[in-house]
Structure 1
Amino acid sequence: MASLEERLDIAERLIKSESFRQNKGLGNEVGYYVFDYPAEKELLVRERVAYMKNKNSRGTDGFELVVFDLYDIIIDILEKEGFLEQVYKFEKKKGFDRIIKSVGNLLKINDADSLIVKHIQEHTPEDAVVFLVGIGKCYPILRSHKVLNNLHQTLDRVPVVLFYPGKYDGQELVLFSTIKDDNYYRAFKLVD
């Protein structure tokens, strides 16, 4: 079994290959991938993703690595719409479960026109590889399957890699070693 650092090295090499960026060898499937890792290694993964992004910004790879922190997108949308302070007040009055539903409705998480998906679409250039990070910070407001399913319907021109703090066996995700997400994913495991 490869160490996390070795798996990240492999992932970095993979995204640089032309065949990866052109979705070759996937049987006409859209290139959606999950890179799973132990949740306690979150800071290491964040550092490595930032390193890959910085290294790619020199423009020598032939593509742009675009990193979307899903938590930051949620906060930015709430701030832009003027709802962030209201969310705090609403949570005090109604509790966190109501916030999950209210924020989900505001962001249209369950809809084809999800504001998160729209943001990703609008900020993804043609020759890109997309990294989705921050899913652990969003839980339980945002579930990874919602983003992947909605994005899968609209963004098919570039490969997308979800960095997932938990286990992915090729069919289901387990977050934080205890929370099982029983949804089926049309995503490939990036590195075993």
Structure 2
Amino acid sequence: MSQDAFDEGLAALKSDLLRPEGPSITNMSEYRFAVLPYKPNKEFYVRKQVREVSDDLKSKGWQVFELPVNKLLLKRLRNAPQEELDSWIGREKRLVAKGKKERALRTAIDNLEYLIEGQNGIAKDAIEEIHRLADVNQVDTEKTLVWITRMGSLYPFFRTSTLLKHLDGNTRRIPVVVLYPGRRVDKTALSFMEETDADRDYRPRIYP
């Protein structure tokens, strides 16, 4: 995923959002959910370009919202039982003190997977926030966009395929676009942070 590919994808996405007949970011009218990959080391460039597109959409009467996943993760951690967190941290510190850093990382990953994976994890929080935005702002689904951002904060604790799978069909027809730090491997496969094995058979459209 080159910078040129990201720019091409963002331009195509904007064009599809602004179609006269209404947003069309997939081949299915009821399925307004797409993924826009970018190179992880281009995070700040991507934020700048996305902000410019958002400002342009707003000038055309759109409502544009950002849903940063790192905030959902921090909220999950704050709401976890303190005794549980203390136990996790204590175990990781003991492993590091013994020079078992890889095992400590694996323990941290296992603990956070328990907290954020599955349909009752981060995906549930994201869906609830999308629905809350829709209700509070009385959105017009023809002129509303939600960016899901800061996905990199979940690496290496979370396979993003889980989040995308559970968001599928739960966006209330609001166009939702996941800004995805990673690499497109083929037509329906993505490698998170350009590090993980590719997850395949994504239903959302992957731009460009």
C-alpha distance in 2, partners of 1:112/1:50? 30
AA at the equivalent of 1:131: W
2:183·2:190 contact (CA, 8 Å) conserved in 1?
yes
AA at the equivalent of 1:136: G
1:16-45: CA deviations, max 9, x gaps? 335453x48714561221111222212100
The offset of 1:6, in angstroms, is 4.8
1:130-157: CA deviations, max 9, x gaps? 2112222211222221111011142241
C-alpha distance in 1, partners of 2:75/2:119? 19
Identity across aligned pairs (percent)?
Answer: 19
Aligned in 2, Cα 1:26/1:74: closer, same or farther, shift over 3 Å?
same
Question: Structure 1 residue 159 and structure 2 residue 175: aligned?
Answer: yes
Answer with 144-153 or 83-92: which moved more. 83-92
For residues 37-186 of structure 1, the aligned pairs below 5 Å read 37-56=38-57, 59-81=58-80, 86=86, 88-89=89-90, 91-93=92-94, 95-107=104-116, 109-111=117-119, 114-125=123-134, 126-127=139-140, 128-168=144-184, 169-186=186-203
> Structure 2: any 5+ residue segments left out of the alignment?
96-103
Aligned in 2, Cα 1:160/1:136: closer, same or farther, shift over 3 Å?
same
Q: Which has the larger radius of gyration?
A: 2
1:52-85: CA deviations, max 9, x gaps? 34554xx543432221121221012322446596
Aligned positions, number: 187
- Partner residue of 1:34? 35
Aligned in 2, Cα 1:93/1:154: closer, same or farther, shift over 3 Å?
farther
1:32·1:159 contact (CA, 8 Å) conserved in 2?
yes
1:90·1:99 contact (CA, 8 Å) conserved in 2?
no
When the two chains are superposed, the root-mean-square deviation of aligned CA atoms in Å is 3.1
